[in-house]
Structure 1
Amino acid sequence: MHTIIRLWREYKGLVALGVLMIIFRSAIADWNVVPSGSMLPTIRPGDHIIVDKMAYELRIPLTHIGVARLSDPKRDDIVTIDSSAAHELLVKRVIGIPGDRVAMRNNVLCINGKRADYQPLGSDLLPGDARAHAEYLTEQFDGVAHRVRLSPDAPSPRSSFGPVVMPTGEYLMLGDNRDDSADSRYFGFFPRTEIMGRVRRVAFSLDPTHFDLPRPNRFGKRLDSPPG
């Protein structure tokens, strides 16, 4: 007993710090490593992204229980989703919000009867693209733009769907890598309660194809800035 008391006195500061870190990461802000390329070219494998856990909801730490709604996810937000359908944490872009009517035809989005605008950016823009023959476009809707990646040689079997009408409290999410993303086309709509936070910035990045060497040009990179 005396040993336990002595250890508590010696390490109580460290324990308190650990508890505070757990609470901070659970309810305020977190960082996650991205292992896949489903959000290329916006987010790359090896990016460590910063997640604002208070962007939409104030939650009881370590739970999905919300105590205060702070704002609603908006179209084009990049979010993390603790998906019960996928059984993992996902990072996707919000495409359809409650009440929207969404359709896609050959990777061309149409929302509420309005077609998104697409401008070609070129092909093979990222390392490793030469073998995949990837093509890049700027996708713009209601004045907000981001880049998307297509794979003409290996198109997704779900490059067309809908139209679907978004129910209350549910969201349609897609990856920017449209031909290689497991998203709402596979898992269905995502409930608001599973949206854990908003992603706006890369903290730091390590290149998994080159022995996890740092990619300094990705450190602190804004993800919600217009394509340039």
Structure 2
Amino acid sequence: MKNWLKDNRGFLVFLFCFGFVRLAVADWNPIPSGSMRPNILEGDVVLVNRLAYDVKLPLTDTSLMRTGEPQRGDVIVFMSPQDGTRLIKRLVALPGDTVALKDDALYVNGERAVYSTPTMVSEPLDAGLKTPAYIAIERVAGHAHTMQLMPEVRARRNFGPLIVPADAYFFLGDNRDNSADSRYFGVVPRALLVGRAHHLLASADIKNTWLPRFERFGQAIR
């Protein structure tokens, strides 16, 4: 055993360092669902900066030091407060904000989001089905991003108003009518934030051909 450890110590050090980096510094997260379409697709693999907001004790939610503050518009990986599932959504409301939805329109602190003229697309569903969808730019509280509405899908289009409590955050999916988010499981405590998603590492068309989507490799997440 001693000889084996000696002969393989370089590899063991590499494994330890690799594991530590993934647990404490940087991570990647495969995307299984379409809740962040059209910005993040099923089959994308996102890079996650675990040090964006906190330095945490590996394998725990214990913060050793705060390194930054989450900002509206950040795309964040976090653990669901409902069942512990790892999720990725967009942060739309900060502690102290008042957030509401009225007929799919987002309001933050009483300010209604401004929407660009929508573009109609055909959105894929399971079992090869498709549904009409509308893509638009959503601008509110100093941030703008692309989002999608699916009028024929049953969804919670009205919510709140809700005042976000201290050290908690309100998240929505960019695919607004096809996302399990804070409308359903509530606000997310800061301790459950994993990190900020910033780029796509890789991508494959898992809904159809399983071929790589090379044009998405390395894209910044906005």
Per-residue CA deviation, residues 138-181 of structure 1 (Å, 9 max, x unaligned), is: 1011342111111111141x110110101000110010011110
- 1:119 matches 2:84: no
Q: Which residue of 1 aligns with 2:140?
A: 141
Q: Which residue of 1 aligns with 2:71?
A: 74
1:81–1:89 CA contact under 8 A, matched in 2:
yes
Secondary structure at 1:211 match in 2: coil
Q: Which residue of 1 aligns with 2:38?
A: 41
Structure 1 segment 74-113 matched on structure 2, within 5 A: 74-113=71-110
Q: 1:46 to 1:200 in 2, by over 3 A?
A: same
Alignment gaps of 5+ in structure 2: none
Q: Which residue of 1 aligns with 2:203?
A: 205
Secondary structure at 2:60 match in 1: coil
Alignment gaps of 5+ in structure 1: none
Q: Which residue of 2 aligns with 1:214?
A: 212
Runs of 4+ in 1 over 2 A off after TM superposition: 125-131
* TM-score normalised to structure 2 length: 0.94
Per-residue CA deviation, residues 162-201 of structure 1 (Å, 9 max, x unaligned), is: 1010100011001001111000111111000001100111
RMSD over aligned Cα atoms = 1.6
- Distance in 2 between residues matched to 1:47 and 1:20, nearest whole Å: 25
Per-residue CA deviation, residues 74-127 of structure 1 (Å, 9 max, x unaligned), is: 111000002241321000000110000111001101111111101133111666
Q: 1:183 aligns with which of 181, 184, 192?
A: 181
Secondary structure at 1:55 match in 2: coil
**Matched residues, percent identical?**
37
- Distance in 2 between residues matched to 1:120 and 1:15, nearest whole Å: 56
Q: Which residue of 1 aligns with 2:56?
A: 59
1:31–1:48 CA contact under 8 A, matched in 2:
yes
Q: 1:125 to 1:138 in 2, by over 3 A?
A: farther
Aligned residues: 220
Q: Which residue of 2 aligns with 1:152?
A: 151
- Distance in 1 between residues matched to 2:103 and 2:15, nearest whole Å: 49
Which amino acid in the other structure matches residue 132 of structure 1?
T
- Distance in 2 between residues matched to 1:127 and 1:183, nearest whole Å: 20
